[in-house]
Amino acid sequence: MKLNDIEQKIKSIRDQINRHNHLYYISNSPEISDIEYDILFRSLLSLEEKFPEFITSDSPSQRISSAVSSEFKQFEHMSPMYSLANCFSEKEFLDWYKRTLDLSGYGQLDLVSEVKFDGLAVSMIYEKGIFVRGSTRGNGIIGEDVTNNLRTIKTIPMVLMGNVPETLEVRGEVIFPKSKFDQFNESRKTEGLSLYSNPRNLAAGSLRQLDSKVTAERSLDIFVYGVGYSIGNDLKTQWNVLNYLKSLGFKVSNLSSLFVKPQEVIDFYNTLVDSISNEDFSADGVVVKVNNLEVQQQLGVVGKDPRWAIAYKFPSIKSVTKLKNIELSVGRTGRISPVAILEPVNIGGAIVRQASLHNFDYIVNNDLKINDLVVVERAGDVIPKVVSFVPEGRKGVEFEWIFPEECPSCGSKIIRLEGESAHLCISSSCPAQLKRLIEHFVSKPAMNIEGIGIKQISILIDNHIIYNQADLFDLDSKKDEIINLNGFGEKRFNNWQKSIEESKKVAFSRVLVALGIPHVGLETAEIISRNFKSINNLIAASELDLVSLPSIGPKVAYSIQNYFSNEDNKYLVNQLISTGVRFDNSTDNMVVDSKLHGLKFAITGSFDNYNRADLVSIIKDLGGIVSSSVSKTTNYLITGDNPGSKLDFAKSNEVKIISIKEFIELTL
């Protein structure tokens, strides 16, 4: 094949991938399966690897930069990114409209109403339809160059469609979806990392990562709403701008609307106030713009605020009320959080009786006391939280709250791990966390008991059939009761029994994971099982014995010792031992499947239906070896979405690269 033909083939594949990206991420109407897309993408990577002279900056393969920045360069915007004046009531909005009419000399002005997203404003520059640079808003004149990070956001097109201008600067707001915010924070909590307080801060923090691979791992999204600078088109109205941006392949909010009367804007605003919490993004108001771009130019700017636009903010989200008491809430992982009990107060249309206090340090650092008047904030869809106390409200009847020493759910001793702000209840019999503890116990990375999920667990607990994890191994004594429950039956029961019996053969390390000891994941559990051999040796181990092992520091050692110092936990372990669950490294009665015996695997990227722990468990159960890095001795690199630098090394060192589908085929 001639080089010219190869170049055209690469271009054709890129065009197909860009089209399918738009159908998937913008139009929500994919035409091909994920596997077909993966094959198409891999064919592009293969050709670009063989013919690197044809790699271009707009190729879908170049979304993630391989370089880590030491700092962000400053970048001057092609035209200023102005802030907006605010209004907070119907009267203030109508006053703005009247002033705008008077200044324009018109008797009526069409208005475009758009959602005011609560994210991070950015500017993106395209030359001849190709994305070349992106930056944050900064001070409105100069922003930070975050081009590589913006490339990782899949809803930002690298190449525009349709009638593209010579030069185009597009404005938009980068957001983090609300639906993924709690999940992201939960994973950080598991890793002992600090939490983000809201999706807006997470979006900003993600976009300002010096390593774009970190940004790529975040679920960032964007909505575009304007053109800052353009050469090669003749747009007349803001409504034309929004539709033109859609035609180029950008993601534009479908909530934007064109109105001819100010009352229509007010009705639109009131509708959003009631419904915005149902959307998968954070917003704090409505942006109203004069539709005619020529009139916008005529009206101009005063200070840093355009006269032709205003932010009509959602209702006040702060109020002052009395802190009546502080109670403790026990989460599903044993995390104990203080909750403010408030004098009921109306905040943004909702009656608030409780609010978050984060942790004990937050109470101390903010000098909060019982009977204080406190400022409570409710950011629309976000859980209300106490922001501060009102100093002038203190009358001498306020008193300090003392953090209890016992769990309010089970009475066990509350612990605080070294270097962490959170307090924990680690009792395996704590009613407040029992359902989730058992859900973790039966999960695939742990005991791998199939067919039992949180729904079935809840029914078994609510009907007083099981009281802890060990009771799962004695279901036969309550068979008649179980098979008569709604939705259950003898076939399901028999399948459970078979899976439960098989679970007794899982490795000691997986049993340790199943116990749910804080900070003990599969890798740590394997180190422990190899070195201590049995549960009795582990219980008898000193802190020095533990920290002398690789990857086990004081925090993990403290967590392990606290777990086994709890009598309920030791009782659970003894119960499990009596049922036949393995708590040592003996190979008696083990069935070894060696399909992957001696093969060395590494993993990169993310997978829709598997997490990393699932894959590691499968590989090790089949006799394979898993490494956290790729070397020349690695047999296979399993790749998912957004693969990291491991992929580059594998390519350059002839390590076999396989998809998740190809890996599953290896195991069959």
- Grouping H, G, I as helix, E, B as strand and the rest as coil, residue 430 is coil
Highest mean pLDDT among 71-85, 266-280, 415-429, 644-658: 266-280
Mean pLDDT of 95-118: 93
- Residue 349 predicted with pLDDT over 60: no
Which residues, including other chains, have CB under 8 Å from residue 41's CB and lie 6 or more apart?
17, 60, 61
Q: Token pair for residue 368?
A: 């909060």
Share of the chain above pLDDT 70, in %: 90
pLDDT band of residue 70 (cuts 50, 70, 90) is very low
pLDDT band of residue 332 (cuts 50, 70, 90) is low
- Grouping H, G, I as helix, E, B as strand and the rest as coil, residue 584 is strand
Q: What is the pLDDT of residue 471?
A: 92
Q: Rounded to the nearest 10 degrees, how much is the dihedral formed by the CA atoms of 354, 355, 360, 366? A: -120
- Grouping H, G, I as helix, E, B as strand and the rest as coil, residue 298 is helix
Mean pLDDT of 258-280: 91
Mean pLDDT of 590-604: 68
Highest mean pLDDT among 68-82, 336-350, 601-615: 336-350
CA-CA distance, 104 to 370, in Å (whole number)? 55
Mean pLDDT of 83-98: 91
Pairing of strands 335-347, 423-424: antiparallel
Share of the chain above pLDDT 90, in %: 30
- Residue 256 predicted with pLDDT over 90: yes
- Residue 589 predicted with pLDDT over 50: no
pLDDT digits (tens, 9 = 90+) for 115-143: 999 889 999 999 989 999 999 988 788 88
Number of H helices, E strands in the chain: 24, 24
Highest mean pLDDT among 85-89, 168-172, 643-647: 168-172
- CATH number for region 318-393: 2.40.50.140
178 is catalytic: no
Residue of 2, 116, 498, 661 marked catalytic: 116
- Residue 288 predicted with pLDDT over 90: yes
Q: What is the pLDDT of residue 458?
A: 85
Q: What count of Cα atoms within 13 Å lies in the side-chain half-sphere of residue 234?
A: 0
- Return the CATH fold of 600-667: Rossmann fold (3.40.50)
Highest mean pLDDT among 133-137, 214-218, 237-241: 237-241
pLDDT band of residue 550 (cuts 50, 70, 90) is low
- The domain ranges of the chain are 3-62, 86-313, 318-393, 434-579, 600-667
- Residue 323 predicted with pLDDT over 50: yes
Q: What is the pLDDT of residue 186?
A: 82
Pairing of strands 86-87, 309-313: parallel
Q: What is the pLDDT of residue 17?
A: 81
CA distances from 658 to 156, 314, 631 (A): 28, 50, 16
- Residue 347 predicted with pLDDT over 80: no
- Residue 348 predicted with pLDDT over 90: no
- Residue 80 predicted with pLDDT over 80: yes
Q: What is the pLDDT of residue 192?
A: 75
Give the CATH architecture of domain 3-62: Orthogonal Bundle (1.10)
- What's at 662, amino acid-wise? E
Which residues, including other chains, have CB under 8 Å from residue 287's CB and lie 6 or more apart?
84, 113, 114, 115, 116, 225, 309, 310, 311, 312
pLDDT band of residue 586 (cuts 50, 70, 90) is low
Q: Which residue has the higher pLDDT, 61 or 101?
A: 101
Q: What is the pLDDT of residue 204?
A: 87
pLDDT digits (tens, 9 = 90+) for 416-461: 866 677 888 878 778 778 888 888 899 888 898 988 888 888 889 8
Q: Token pair for residue 80?
A: 């200023």
- Return the CATH fold of 86-313: D-amino Acid Aminotransferase; Chain A, domain 1 (3.30.470)
Q: What is the pLDDT of residue 325?
A: 95
Q: What is the pLDDT of residue 611?
A: 66
Q: What is the pLDDT of residue 316?
A: 61
What is the pTM assigned to this prediction? 0.49
Q: What is the pLDDT of residue 381?
A: 44
pLDDT band of residue 614 (cuts 50, 70, 90) is low
For the ranges 98-102, 105-109, 379-383, the lowest mean pLDDT is seen at 379-383
pLDDT digits (tens, 9 = 90+) for 505-547: 898 989 999 998 888 887 788 888 888 888 999 998 888 888 8
Give the CATH architecture of domain 434-579: Orthogonal Bundle (1.10)
Q: What count of Cα atoms within 13 Å lies in the side-chain half-sphere of residue 3?
A: 5
DSSP H/E element including 65: none
Q: What is the pLDDT of residue 181?
A: 86
pLDDT band of residue 303 (cuts 50, 70, 90) is low
- Residue 380 predicted with pLDDT over 80: no
Q: What is the pLDDT of residue 341?
A: 94
Phi-psi region of 263 (alpha: psi -120 to 50; beta: other; left: phi over 0): alpha
Domains 434-579 and 600-667 share a fold: no
Buried b (16+ CB within 10 A) or exposed e, 172-196: bbbbbbbebbeebbeeebeeeeeeb
Q: Which residue has the higher pLDDT, 625 or 492?
A: 492
Which residues, including other chains, have CB under 8 Å from residue 612's CB and lie 6 or more apart?
603
For the ranges 255-264, 349-358, 502-511, the lowest mean pLDDT is seen at 349-358
